Amino acid sequence: MHPRTRHPDGNPLFAPLALAIHLGFSSVVGTTLALPAKAADSQDARLRYDIPAGPLGEALNRFAQQASIAILFRAQNVAGLSSPGLQGNYGIEEGFTRLLQGSGYAAVRGANGYALVAVPETDKSAENSMELDAMRVEDNSLGTITEHTKSYTPGTVASATRLVLTPRETPQTVTVVTRQHMDDFNLTSIDKVMQHTPGITVTSRDSERSEYYARGFAITNFQYDGIPIQRLVQYSSGNTLSDMIAYDRIEIIKGASGITTGSGGPGATLNLVRKKPTHELSGHATAEAGRWDNYRTEWDLGGPLSESGNIRGRVVGAFQDQHSFMDHYKTQTKAYYGILEVDLSPNTLLTFGADYNQSTPTGSSWGGIPLFDAQGDEVHVSRSFNPGASWSAWEQFSRSYFTQLDHNFDNGWVSRAYYTYQTNGYDAQIGSIGYSRPENPYLLSGRYRGKTKSQALEVYASGPFELLGREHDLVIGASAYRNHWQGNDWRSARSTIEDFYGWSGEVHKRDWGSVTNSNDQLTLQRAVYATAHLKPTDKLAFTLGARVTNYRLSRDVYAKKTGEVTPFAGVVYDLNDNFSLYASYTSIFLPSNYRDENGGILQPDEGDSYEGGIKGEWFNGRLNASLAYFEIREDNRAEYAGFNTERNESYFQGIKAKTKGLELEVSGELTPGWNIQAGYTWMTIRRDDNNRKITTETPEHQFKAYTTYRLPGIFKKLTIGGGANYQGTTWMDVSNPVKGTVQNHQEAFWLVNLMSKYQITDKLSATLNINNLFDKFYYTNIGYYNTKAYGEPRNMMLTTRWDF
């Protein structure tokens, strides 16, 4: 991993001439500490530090002792200056960046050790302007914490391979939506984050169910702090409920991620990385108001809980009450999160945490609006038309508990043991006229109630090793996963409705009676894995790994796979200081829950995933870009084949298919104060036997770009920004009562958003976000069960935030 030394404005920390002058003086006058010979060759080694806040000179001396390095400086130069201290795992350069934050000095390395260099006044100007650009760079075994970095790109990531690597070093496309991006554009839910993420398509079946697609595949793999928890696709039960108040960033690993997830889809994996406690007292509170009586408040408080700072905690919460552009629909959401860290020793960290999300809607739509009337003509109603009954409610909740133990060894190795218990639940009492014809409307209703209980245990260790005179990295681990879904269904008879176009949602709720169907599925996975990052030369690196998985699905259905080997191979070659070529390969293993024509479970979808391209990095990693070609070959892709009326369920068949496409992404800081995240995707999927396009619900062409810019000079308190989403033409095969099977198209469209933020004081700010600026009519569902659903009209949200 390349060490990162950053300054708030992104400019170089020193000039070569200043370095030579200061090293010359420091060799004669200053404070000198012993420098062991091996320390000079171990600048990438990461150690755990526990240095409290206090006088800068004392902090630097303690850092020198613990890191076994020499620091040269004049005592009078640092007299009266303080340091925020250093707690956590850092490389030497990263440690200096943290210790010297706000001091006006930077550390540079010379032949005799490190020397302090005064940052030029032109670089300090941004630091002195109300501390608007103050930033912190802190890493752990999950990668760079993005909070307080003011950045739209990460320093390092670990979700793809478990190895902590920069985006440029990772031989796979990894997109990260940082804390700064979420705060700037008021991305308070996982749905909103996915709408901003390059390469991701979001479809909404109704008011409660969202699906995310990447490279043409539904995303069913979710990770929390890198630990996989699979989403229950059949019922909406909390995975797409997550409030972003609890998370530092969202990482999207594009393509198959068999090393870290085992079984899973080849489109992408979502890794939701939780916030960590802060080493000093800090937090914020907000008050927000928007269109359709949309009100939200959130609070976040963290800091040390002991005098020494070895115990730290953080608690966050959010409450939102909002109506909608749809008639008689409203929802309340609650989110709470707490985490506690305890330093058992300078090298051992124990963590406990829990979170809770709940959504309580009224007027849930359950499906969309019917596409056609009895004459085969398209049904036209207002965007505010809600097919759901006024009492229809699809309640969801998600709660989890987790603990982890981290230990840093003296040889540079780190280990982690992680356990999590998560429950996702749903209680849906729903009714809708969306599945009927306007000439003969009826209410379809039912109740669905259940829980999915998941447990995951993972133990792994990573660190450096020497081979053929060079240092490399290795990670080895083992995991166990248990997922148990139990639920009951009550299906009610249809109720006749008098007037479709005059529908107001007022209808009597039927007695649900007895249970008509029960679900019971138990999924077990056990796996061991290893990944090595080999660096035979300074320019060339190989990432090689494999995961061996035992999989079993039982209870209502049965499927088993033992000794499934998922290999991974990647290579990165540095062309120069800014560009690298890369390529990677892994296999696909996706067990199926789909039933065939006879009611049996389809065989797993297996195949191969390839990716290659070029990556770029500028300004010490403050700006990253990638261009990737990907190809996914499937041997047993599940495709809809019909509906069995006796079993009242759809059935599927396995087909061979090939997906290919291009992805271009850029994220980070173009100039000081100018952030951007943008991406273009082209993708197509075709059957092998007849070359027919499939999965046309996702567009072949997609473009997203979001940017913010803090104005200079006298306007420095103002930040302006905006973004645009372009989605190409999509279509689905649907049933027309007169014409039979037809294609329902949605033509290409743009959505434009704006934002502006004014820093009233150094603690208080106000942000205005406007979504769908030009009030574009579009659909989020274009054919699910022959229905359609409108996207949100123009809306806005005003957020006031107090930081402390």
Domain with residue 379: its CATH number is 2.40.170.20
Last residue of a domain, one of 89, 110, 128: 128
pLDDT at 165 over 60: yes
Give a yes or no: residue 137 inside a domain: no
pLDDT at 39 over 60: no
570 contact partners, CB below 8 Å, separation of at least 6: 161, 171, 172, 542, 543, 544, 582, 583, 584, 585
> Mean pLDDT across the stretch 775-787?
94
Residue 61 to residue 85: CA distance in whole angstroms:
12
Structural domain includes residue 259: no
Phi/psi at 39 (nearest 5 deg)? -65, -35
Please, are residues 788 and 779 in contact by the beta-carbon 8 Å criterion? yes
Tell whether 321 is covered by a domain.
yes
Range of the domain at 497: 273-803
Residue 439 lies in a domain: yes
List C-alpha distances in Å: 267 to 121, 240, 593: 48, 17, 17
Whether residue 1 is contained in a domain is answered as no
The whole-angstrom separation of Cα 218 and Cα 231 is: 11
Contact 353, 401 (CB under 8 A): yes
Asked if residue 606 lies in contact with residue 588, where contact means CB atoms within 8 angstroms, the answer is yes
Sheet with strand 105-110: strands edge to edge: 71-72, 113-118, 105-110
- pLDDT tens-digit readout, 614-646: 999 998 889 999 999 999 999 888 888 888 877
Mean predicted confidence (pLDDT) in 640-666: 87
User: Residue 41 sits in a domain of what CATH number?
Assistant: 3.55.50.30
pLDDT in tens, 585-622: 999 888 777 788 887 878 888 889 999 999 999 988 89
Alpha-carbon gap, residue 731 to 455, rounded angstroms: 39
Q: How far apart are CA 409 and CA 672, in angstroms?
A: 38
Confidence of residue 716 (pLDDT cuts 50, 70, 90): very high
Asked if the model's pLDDT at residue 531 lies above 60, the reply is: yes
Number of domains in the chain: 2
Residues in the chain: 804
| 42 or 217: which leads in pLDDT | 217
Instruction: Identify the pLDDT of residue 4.
Output: 35
Per-residue exposure over 399-438, b if at least 16 CB sit within 10 Å of its own CB, e if not: bbebebebbbeeebbbbbebbbbbbbbbbbbbbbbbbbbb
Cα distances (angstroms) measured from residue 312 to each of 46, 337, 340:
21, 14, 6
Q: Does 787 map to a domain?
A: yes
Residue 11 to residue 9: CA distance in whole angstroms = 6
Rounded to an integer, the average pLDDT of 149-168 is: 88
Look at residue 696 and tell me whether its pLDDT is greater than 90. Answer: no
- Distance between CA 136 and CA 139 in Å, rounded? 10
**Residue with structure tokens 């829950």?**
593
Residue 11, token pair as written in the block: 């400019």
Nearest 5°: phi and psi at 172?
Answer: -160, 155
Predicted local distance difference test score (pLDDT) of residue 233: 54
> Which residue among 70, 95, 128 closes a domain?
128
Band (pLDDT 50/70/90 cuts) for residue 132 is very low
Q: Which of 531, 545, 529, 417 is CA-nearest to residue 474?
A: 531
Q: What is the pLDDT of residues 328-337, one digit of tens each?
A: 999 999 999 9
What's the rounded mean pLDDT across residues 490-515?
A: 91
Residue 515 has pLDDT above 60, yes or no: yes
pLDDT of residue 442: 94
Taking the C-alpha atoms of residue 468 and residue 470, their distance in angstroms, rounded to an integer, is: 6
Residue 497, both tokens: 């409705």
Using DSSP bridges, classify how beta strands 86-90 and 47-51 pair: parallel, antiparallel or unpaired. antiparallel
SS (H, E, C) 689-715: CCCCECCCCCCCEEEEEEEEEECCHHH
Give pLDDT tens digits for 67-106. 877 787 766 677 778 888 887 778 888 888 888 887 888 8
577: DSSP letter: S
Q: What angle do CA 640, 644, 647 make, to 5 degrees?
A: 125
pLDDT at 15: 39
Cα 316 to chain centroid, rounded: 19
Residue 118 clears pLDDT 80, i.e. is over it: no
pLDDT at 40: 37
Q: Which of 128, 158, 179 is the C-terminal boundary of a domain?
A: 128
Mean pLDDT across the stretch 463-474? 92
- Give the pLDDT confidence score for residue 236 in this predicted structure: 63
Q: What is the pLDDT of residue 256?
A: 85
Choose the weakest-confidence range: 146-160, 490-504, 633-647.
633-647
Q: Provide the pLDDT for residue 33.
A: 39
Round to whole Å and give the CA distance between 489 and 180.
Answer: 42
Of 78, 112, 84, the closest CA to residue 98 belongs to 84
| Structure tokens belonging to residue 273 | 């990385």
What tokens does 616 get?
């770029």
Burial state string for 506-528 with b = 16 or more CB within 10 A and e = fewer than 16 = ebebbebeeeeeebebbbebbbe
The pLDDT assigned to 667 comes to 97
For residue 665, CA distances in Å to 173, 238, 252, 578 come to 9, 30, 13, 15
Q: What is the mean pLDDT of residues 222-250?
A: 81
Within-domain flag for 185: no
pLDDT at residue 234, as a whole number? 57
* pLDDT band at 198; cut points 50, 70, 90: very high
200 domain residue, yes or no: no
Of the pLDDT bands very low, low, confident and very high (cuts 50, 70, 90), residue 238 is low
